[in-house]
Structures are given as C-alpha cells and as structure tokens.
C-alpha cells in the first residue's frame, strides 16, 4: 500500500537545532540543541541526539494518530 504523502512531516536542520514541517512546508515545531553535552547543559537545551529523537517523534505524530478514534484522531 502506497503511503499518502500529504500526511508526511519532515525534519530540517537549522542553525542551533531542528525544524519539523508538515507536508505543506508549515513549521510545526522548533527543537533547539547543542553539539556536545557540556554546551547543552550550560545553555540549558537538548543535545543534538536528544533533539533529533524528539523532532523525529513529532514528525511521526500524524501517522500515529491516524486511525485512532477520539478528539485527536481522525477516524
């Protein structure tokens, strides 16, 4: 079964972090990070790995919610 590309989100690298966009290019979330744990701790932001995992999970939300019944699902 072919995936419906209208529901896919993307994660883009921006200076200082990542940006999650929907299939239309609308920005959904910005996740800020630093390259190493010491810099992240000093700036009180996420490490690059933590930010990447969170941005990836945000991008997957429409797919996860599809098919669920209730106020947040379309089904």
- Alpha-carbon span 6 to 25, nearest angstrom: 11
Distance CA 59, CA 44 (A): 23
The mean predicted confidence, pLDDT, of the chain is 86
Tell me the mean pLDDT in the region 21-48.
95
What pLDDT, on the 0 to 100 scale, is given for residue 75? 52
Work out the pLDDT band at 62, boundaries 50, 70, 90: confident
pLDDT of residue 18: 97
pLDDT above 90 coverage of the chain, percent: 68
């Amino acid at each position: 079964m072919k995936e419906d590309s209208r529901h896919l989100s993307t994660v883009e690298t921006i200076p200082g972090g990542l940006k999650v966009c929907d299939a239309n290019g609308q920005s959904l979330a910005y996740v800020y990070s630093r390259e190493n744990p010491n810099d992240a701790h000093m700036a009180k932001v996420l490490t690059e790995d933590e930010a990447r995992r969170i941005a990836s999970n945000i991008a997957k939300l429409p797919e996860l919610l599809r098919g669920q019944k209730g106020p947040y699902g379309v089904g």
